[in-house]
Structure 1
Amino acid sequence: MRALLIVDHGSRRAEANQVLVAVEAMLRAEGTFPIVHHAHMELAGPTIAEAFDRCVGDGATEIVVHPYFLGPGNHSRTDIPALVEAASQAHPQVRWRVTEPLGVHPKLCEIVLERAASEPAER
């Protein structure tokens, strides 16, 4: 069974971490993946190892890890894959891969334009 694990940086601010909780709930409700969990790379829990374990505990045999980052920086290209590799050692029977981050995509442009049009100017 496939699982989706979304990973952000993590923050000391609880309200910032709640964003990924909300995204997880939306992705779960959408239904493409039967298992959806989130993790924070650092500064908050659940960790990548904890979330990987949760996916396996829910029956995952394949885990697709998505870095919830805009660009392909060190965290999405190096740190997250290394942390997933370490987490996978406890579950050698589970296949996994790390996707590209959000990156450049027309749908992101739509969101930026929508936000720019709807938010009142401040000053």
Structure 2
Amino acid sequence: MYRKKRALIIVDHGSSFKEANDMLIEIADMVRQSSKGEIDIVKHAHMELAKPTISEAFNASVAEGAEEIIVHPYFLSPGMHSKEDIPNMVKEAARKHPHITYTITEPLGIHPKIIDVVLDRVVKADR
């Protein structure tokens, strides 16, 4: 059965601190290694303050053959960025590629694995 070539773009706010932006690169690499063939292309992008932009990541995904793009706002909770800013930026990027379908996921939100991470941080801070 044919499946469209899918790209995932993980989007954060972007920062003037290189270390913060490097973390998103690492997250994208980890997702790429763990995707088990479900995602063909994994990119990272920043809303502002750093490159690549959402538009640049969208264009690069299409250039690599993506037919469907999934955008994940890498934020803990829903807000103006995940509900309005990112969708508007993606819509603008998609205008150049009317043949490409795209979806925007919910942010990380409430999930049992997030609790595991919080507890892990607490244990490490207690040492």
Shorter-chain TM-score: what band?
Answer: over 0.9
Tell me which of 16, 19, 24 is aligned to 2:28: 24
Identity %: 52
Which residue of 2 is the match for residue 95 of structure 1? 101
CA offsets per residue over residues 75-121 of structure 1, 9 Å max, x none?
00000000000000010000001100001111000110011112246
Q: Does 1:78 pair with 2:80?
A: no
Superposed CA offset, 1:38-80 (max 9, x none): 0000111100000000110111000000000011000000000
Could you tell me the TM-score, scaled by structure 2's length? 0.92
Task: Please say if 1:2 is aligned against 2:1.
Answer: no
2: CA distance between counterparts of 1:65 and 1:35? 12
Aligned residues: 121
**1-side partners of 2:75 and 2:98: how far apart?**
27
The CA distance in 1 between the partners of 2:105 and 2:29, in whole Å, is: 20
Q: Distance in 2 between matches of 1:59 and 1:101?
A: 26
Q: Give matches, 1:44-83, under 5 Å.
A: 44-83=50-89
Runs of 4 or more above 3 Å deviation? none
SS in 2 for 1:118: helix
Counterpart Cα distance in 2 of 1:103 and 1:7: 15
Aligned with residue 35 of structure 1, among 30, 41, 54? 41
Tell me the distance in 1 between the aligned counterparts of 2:58 and 2:126.
Answer: 41
Larger CA deviation: 90-99 vs 25-34: 25-34
Alpha-carbon distance between aligned partners in 1 of 2:8 and 2:28, rounded to the nearest angstrom: 9
SS at match of 1:65: strand
